[in-house]
Structure 1
Amino acid sequence: MSKTMKASLKARYEADKAAAAATVAANAGDLRLRASMTDATVVNGPSLNGLVLAVEKPGSFIIDYNVPKKDFRFQFTETVRVADKRLNLMYIHSKGDNRTILDGTLVFDSANKVSANHVLGSGNCKLKYSYVHAGLTTFEPSYDFAKNSWDFAVSRKVYGDDVLRAAYQTSSKHLALEWSRKSTFNGSFKVSASVNLADEQKTPKLTAESIWDFEM
C-alpha cells in the first residue's frame, strides 16, 4: 500500500526570535489536501491564527483559504509550446487584497530560460534570465522595471547536495549569502546572512532554518 499522507515541520531561528510552521498533506485521487499552521496557531492554546487550508491538483491549480483572514488565493498553472519551446504560465489571484499576478517562464533548453512577473494594474514588471553553466553554477540577472534597477544572483552546487548562493539588490544595496543542504534524513536546512551595505553600521542579520519531512 502506497503512503498517501505526508507532514513537514519547519523551524526558523533569528537573532531576536524563533518561529515554527507545520504542514500536513494527504492525497485524495488526483487532488492533494493540505493544512498548514504556524506557531501562532498553537501558542497560548489552539487558535485559527496562521491556519491555511488548501486543495491542490499538482501541475494544474492550488486554492488556498486563510482561515483567520477569511481570504481565498487562487493559483492556476498551464504549459504550452511556443516555437517548440516550453512556456510555463502561472496566474495568481488573492481575493482579499484584489491582487492578480501573471508569471511566465520560457524554457529554451536545460540551461537557459527567461521569466517575467507582472502585477496587474501596478505597472510593476520583473524580468529574469537564468543560465546554468556545466550543471553546477546558475547565474540569474534580473531587472525591476518599477525600481529601474538590476538585481544579481549566483548559486553553485558543492559537495553533492550543498548549494551556495549570493544575491545583490542594487536599488537597496542589500547583499545576501546563503548555504543550504538537503539532508539524508528526509529534510533540509539553510543558513543565511544578509546585510544592507547602505547602512552605516552594516550589521549582518543571521537566520537558520530547518525542515523535517515525514511520511505516515
Structure 2
Amino acid sequence: MKASLKGRYDIDKSSAAATVVVKAGDVRLRASLTDATVVKGPSLNGLALAVEKPGFFIIDYNVPKKDVRFQFMNTIRVAEKPLNLTYIHSRGDNRTMLDGSLVFDSANKVSANHVVGSGNCKLKYTYVHQGVTTYEPSYDLAKNSWDFAMSRRVYGDDVFRASYQTGSKALGLEWSGNSKLNGSFKISASLNLAEELKMPKLCAESTWDFEM
C-alpha cells in the first residue's frame, strides 16, 4: 500500500489532497480525497475512486458528481517505432479525447491530441538535447497559434521549465524537484503579457509519498 499527501499554496487559497493506492495483483485500487472531504465534517466532496492496470486502462469514479471517466492505453509499432495510443471518455460531459505519440528515438517524439467532435487538434514535437534540455513547440489547429516550452535539468534531478503561449500571451516559469527525504516540490509563476502589468501569479506545491 502506498499513500501520498499533497499541499498547494497560492495567493488566493491553499488546498490539500491525499491519495491511497492498494495493489491487487496486476490491478491498483486508488482512493483520492481533498480538504473539502474533511472540512466541516466528513463528506463526499472531493472523493474519487479508481481502478487501474498500468499501461492498459484506468477507470475513475467521481463520487459526488457520480461521473465515470474511462481511459484505455495501447502501444502498436509503426515502421518499428512505438506508437502510444490513449482513448479517454468522460460520461458526465460526453467528451471523448484521443491521444497519440510516436517515439522515433530517445531524443525525438511527435504527439497529437484531438477532442472528438470539436475540430480541436493539437500537435507537439519533443526534442531532448543530450538528455538535459527539452524543447517542445506545439501548434493548436483550432486557435491557429503556437506554444513553446523549454525545460532543463539543473542541480541533478531538479527541472526548470519556461513556456509561452502566443495566442493568450501567457508566460510561465516552473521549478520542480524530487527528494527522497523531503518529497517532491513545484514552484511556478505565470504572467499574462496581454493584460496590464501585474504581479505574476505564484503557486507552490509539495508532495510526500509513504510506503504502508
- Report TM bin, short chain: over 0.9
Alpha-carbon distance between aligned partners in 2 of 1:57 and 1:93, rounded to the nearest angstrom: 17
Q: Which letter maps to 1:7?
A: A
Q: Which letter maps to 1:173?
A: K
Q: Which residue of 2 aligns with 1:182?
A: 178
Is residue 2:203 matched to residue 1:211?
no
Q: Is the 8 A contact 1:192 1:207 kept in 2?
A: yes
When normalised by structure 1's length, the TM-score is 0.97
1:1-216 alignment runs, 5 A limit: 5-185=1-181, 187-216=183-212
User: Alpha-carbon deviation of 1:187?
Assistant: 1.9
State the secondary structure of the residue aligned to 2:36.
helix
User: Alpha-carbon deviation of 1:141?
Assistant: 0.1
Q: Which letter maps to 2:35?
A: D
- RMSD of the alignment, in Å? 0.7
Q: Using the aligned pairs only, state the percent identity.
A: 78
Alpha-carbon distance between aligned partners in 2 of 1:158 and 1:201, rounded to the nearest angstrom: 30
Deviations 1:172-198 (A, max 9, x none): 000000000101226200101100001
Aligned length: 212
Runs in 1 of length 4+ with deviation above 3 angstroms?
none
Q: Which letter maps to 1:45?
A: G
User: Alpha-carbon deviation of 1:202?
Assistant: 2.9
Range with bigger deviation, 196-205 or 38-47: 196-205
Alpha-carbon distance between aligned partners in 2 of 1:65 and 1:184, rounded to the nearest angstrom: 31
Alpha-carbon distance between aligned partners in 2 of 1:94 and 1:174, rounded to the nearest angstrom: 28
Alpha-carbon distance between aligned partners in 2 of 1:159 and 1:186, rounded to the nearest angstrom: 15
State the secondary structure of the residue aligned to 2:5.
strand
Range with bigger deviation, 195-204 or 34-43: 195-204
Q: Is the 8 A contact 1:79 1:89 kept in 2?
A: yes
State the secondary structure of the residue aligned to 1:213.
strand
Report the CA distance shift for 1:63/1:186 in structure 2 as closer, same or farther (over 3 A): farther
Alpha-carbon distance between aligned partners in 2 of 1:202 and 1:126, rounded to the nearest angstrom: 30
User: Alpha-carbon deviation of 1:200?
Assistant: 0.8
When normalised by structure 2's length, the TM-score is 0.99
Range with bigger deviation, 178-187 or 155-164: 178-187
Gaps of at least 5 residues in structure 1 are none
Deviations 1:151-174 (A, max 9, x none): 000000011011000000000000
